[in-house]
Amino acid sequence: MCSILSVIDLRPGSDLSVLRPLALSLSARQRHRGPDWSGVYQHPHALLVHERLAIVDPAGGSQPLLSADRQLALAVNGEIYNHRPLRTELEDAYAFQTGSDCEVINALYVIEPDGDAGAWLNRLNGMFAFVLWDAKRQRAIIARDHIGICPLYWGHDVEGRLWVASEMKALSRLCDDVAQFPPGHWFDTETQTLHKYYDRPWRDVAATQGVEVSREILRDAFESAVHRQLMSDVPYGVLLSGGLDSSLVAACTARFARNRIEDDDASEAWWPRLHSFAIGLEGSPDLKAAQIAADALGTVHHGFTYTFEEGLDAIPDVIRHIETYDVTTIRASTPMYLLARRIKAMGVKMVLSGEGSDELFGGYLYFHKAPNAREFHEELVRKLDALHNYDCLRANKSMMAWGVEPRVPFLDREFMEVAMAMDAEAKMVKDGRIEKNILRAAFEGVLPDEILWRQKEQFSDGVGYGWIDGLKAHAEKQVSDAELTAAAQRFAHNPPQTKEAYFYRRLFEQVFPDEASARTVPGGKSIACSSPAAIAWDAAFANAADPSGRAVAGVHAAAV
């Protein structure tokens, strides 16, 4: 994973002597995402800048990736997990120049340059955000992966030029209309049209009714997703909080880690010992559970502690990196940011993580309140649509702040097709079943029961309950009652509802003072409490300002 920055200017007479150094300086704001190498492609009407984090083909594969005739230039942030079968299929039609997994994007464009790009984008299984420049047609194709795992922003400068970047910080003071590029979409500068390409039948609950998925099929599908995402030519590890999701990722990774994925498991992996990583306050629930899981799986485990003061000191930097003022996201991003720094210091460049499981299986504790399968499923779809603003954003930006690439196999396209196609009746929390019961049952015998059947903890809770309580207490001292009362006058968009939210919003404003940047953050008190469905399920959510999992009355049992 890397960072990209591009400017597309289709007017004659562009002054590249001014634009090129500007583009380079803006791209440098994202260099934490790609510290290994920088590349630039220049055309009279386009500049593509790339900051590389080398994971696959580190000796080659530098970007922007050029076609043999140099008519195509491609800057990509991401990984294409099915690149090898695609390469085999396309090598007669396109002369590959590198071993990069991402070059298949150029090849797919070559065989279908005039067709609907959505058709070939739907053939990619991966996480990506890219700009592809066709010099012959003076046309750019801009696209983002199916669910928004990789961040992407765009906007226009005062001259009307189109700018695209991996992070908002590169554009916020340049583009008055900076905004997130929508997941599952592509944009064509030739027609100036934005198209949605990722629109699956399972979005309609009627398509899932009566569909059964066996435990064996579910397990095989997830194991295959993990196996695909282990492609790497550099040391990697797993994040292991000791909860169900990260433990399942770790268990599947441990099964495949000894062999090299890129040659079909024919040879021993270059780094055969699997390392796992966890972080928390001293005595936190996650550290205890992570050690139990690691012992059972045989990973080389690294459990790190941080103090409340260390976390508090990091928050301004965390907000600058993750580019949000959402309370839940900041709470969870801070320990993840500190953990990424530790991982980077150990020489690991890629980790697998458990994000996405709760959105696929209804793992959040308020799903206990869902009244029926239809509403359960519709809420899953809503949460998946919002995921790029929350967990995807948190995992990607907090880890990439230190040049560590996070991969999320629960959001693998093929696995999502299996998980979301099933009737939500099988996922519901009822008749004494715990949340995500079907997923747990599919992996019986793989993990210790105390991990497999451990109740959901929000990540910001699991690192230690003193973390959230301390943040609230600190904000109480930093924000006066008068300031909170007048919040709507100071912050016209999304005025904060609590002192903790006000504290984060003030820090965000110091880095991103413009209104457009504030509007890239969605409104609402939390992803759970702001949901109309959640409020309909339990009226208590309407007045719940705290998004912690512990706030779900009658559901959460405090860890011991």
**Catalytic sites, residue numbers:** 2
Give me the residue label for tokens 């590249």: 16
Ranges assigned E (strand) in 306-384 = 350-352
Element (H, E) at 432: none
Find out whether 362 and 380 touch, Cβ atoms under 8 Å.
yes
C-alpha–C-alpha distance, residues 74 and 9, integer Å: 16
8 Å CB contact between 164 and 6:
yes
CA distances from 553 to 16, 42, 243, 361 (A): 60, 57, 21, 21
19 backbone dihedrals φ, ψ, rounded to 5°: -70, -40
Sequence-ordered list of residues with C-beta below 8 angstroms from that of 488, at least 6 positions apart, any chain: 495
**Residue 445: partners with Cβ closer than 8 Å, 6 or more residues away:** none
Torsional sign, CA 390, 392, 396, 399: positive
Q: How far apart are CA 68 and CA 82, in angstroms?
A: 22
353 is in an annotated binding site: yes
Find out whether 280 is annotated in a ligand binding site.
no
3-state secondary structure of 406: strand
Partners of 276 in the β-ladder? 238, 301
The token pair at 260 is 């090299």
Q: Cα(466)–Cα(287) distance, rounded to whole angstroms? A: 14
Beta bridge partners of 46: 8, 43
Task: Please tell me whether 281 is known to bind a ligand.
Answer: no
**3-class secondary structure, 294:** helix
Hey, is 258 helix, strand or coil?
Answer: coil
Residue count (the chain):
560
DSSP code string of 99-133: --GGGHHHHHHHHSSSS-HHHHHTT--EEEEEEEE
Whole-number Å distance between alpha carbons of 29 and 397: 13
Q: Is 315 annotated as a binding residue?
A: no
User: In the numeric block, which tokens belong to residue 471?
Assistant: 């943040």
DSSP 98: S
* Token pair in block for residue 333: 């991003």
Q: Is 165 left (phi over 0), alpha (psi -120 to 50) or beta?
A: beta
- Per the structure block, which two tokens stand in for 49? 């800048």
47 is in an annotated binding site: no
User: Which residue positions form the known binding site for ATP?
Assistant: 239, 279, 353-354
